[in-house]
């Protein structure tokens, strides 16, 4: 189905759970980034962490495509929960993603002249994710919906405005940038993000407390998706 899957994480703590599962691993470096290439669930894959924020994520995504020849990218890691229904350690899968801090006409009235501000997830990857979600144990629920991205960590300030404008499941600092790069390159994209903090348990302290476990859960679901992919190859 795909020649090589790119797994892009924002931070090293989000990447770390994947590395023990990467077989025949070799590393390379470019643009201050370290790429881990090998096989994951029996599929060719290349993994890295980009660093936090939109520009870092965009650089990493373009290098995955141009240098590593990834022909599908999964953005895996953690996020803040925005929908009140989401609880800490529950996982969100993107159906579409947008910037919450970019004027809407920037992307629709100018290059790349999009029909909407939303970058849609790849339908084939979504199908695989839904199949994987059906097999997840009930204590690790998976939700499908919108994600939004901006340059600031969202605690309480701005939460209400973002929810009113976009009604997202989650918020983070990279997903839309990766989706943007994939969109202009015609590369399939999907994001898998596990919640570390919510409106009731907000702030960087909760992120730091919950990041390790949330990253492991996001890894588990990403590998479950890859197993579905391998089964249908």
What is the number of domains present in the chain?
1
Once rounded to an integer, what is the mean pLDDT over residues 194-198?
92
| 37 among known catalytic residues | no
pLDDT of residue 233: 78
Whether the pLDDT of residue 76 is over 90: the answer is yes
- DSSP secondary structure code for residue 73 in this structure: E
Task: Domain of residue 26: give its range.
Answer: 5-232
pLDDT of residue 205: 78
Whether the pLDDT of residue 196 is over 80: the answer is yes
pLDDT of residue 170: 96
CA atoms within 13 A on the CB side of 11: 17
Q: What would the two tokens of residue 80 be?
A: 């803040």
Whether the pLDDT of residue 201 is over 80: the answer is no
Catalytic residue among 37, 122, 197, 228: 197
| 228 among known catalytic residues | no
Instruction: Quote the CA–CA distance of 99 and 117 in Å, as a whole number.
Output: 8
Q: What is the largest CA-CA distance in the chain?
A: 47
Whether the pLDDT of residue 171 is over 90: the answer is yes
Average pLDDT over the chain reads 95
Tell me if residue 194 falls in helix, strand or coil: strand
Lookup result for tokens 């919450």? 100
Catalytic residue among 14, 83, 96, 122: 14
Out of 38-47, 72-81, 101-110, which region has the weakest mean confidence (pLDDT)? 101-110
Nearest to 101 by CA among 162, 181, 183, 178: 162
Lookup result for tokens 């070799």? 26
* CATH number where 59 lies: 3.40.50.1580
Instruction: Quote the CA–CA distance of 19 and 51 in Å, as a whole number.
Output: 17
CA atoms within 13 A on the CB side of 86: 32
pTM: 0.95
pLDDT, tens digit, 9 for 90 and up, residues 115-170? 999 999 999 999 999 999 999 999 999 999 999 999 877 766 778 889 999 999 99
pLDDT of residue 116: 94
């Amino acid at each position: 189905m795909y020649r090589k899957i790119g797994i892009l994480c924002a931070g090293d703590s989000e990447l770390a759970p994947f590395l023990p599962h990467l077989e025949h691993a070799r590393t390379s470096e470019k643009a201050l980034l370290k790429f881990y290439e090998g096989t994951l669930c029996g599929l060719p894959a290349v993994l890295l962490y980009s660093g936090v924020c939109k520009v870092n994520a965009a650089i990493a995504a373009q290098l995955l495509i141009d240098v590593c020849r990834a022909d599908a990218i999964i953005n895996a890691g953690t996020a803040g929960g925005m929908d009140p229904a989401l609880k800490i350690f529950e996982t969100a899968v993107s159906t579409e993603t947008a910037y919450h801090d970019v004027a809407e006409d920037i992307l629709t009235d100018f290059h790349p002249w999009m029909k909407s501000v939303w970058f849609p997830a790849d339908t084939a990857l979504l199908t695989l994710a839904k199949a994987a979600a059906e097999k997840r144990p009930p204590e690790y629920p998976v939700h499908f919906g919108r994600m939004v991205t901006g340059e600031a960590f969202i605690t309480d300030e701005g939460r209400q405005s973002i929810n009113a404008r976009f009604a997202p499941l989650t918020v983070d600092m990279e997903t839309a940038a990766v989706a943007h790069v994939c969109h202009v390159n015609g590369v399939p994209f999907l994001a898998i993000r596990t919640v570390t903090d919510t409106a009731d348990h907000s702030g960087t302290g909760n992120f730091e407390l919950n990041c390790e476990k949330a990253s492991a859960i996001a890894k588990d679901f990403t590998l479950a998706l890859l197993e579905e992919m391998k089964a249908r190859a």
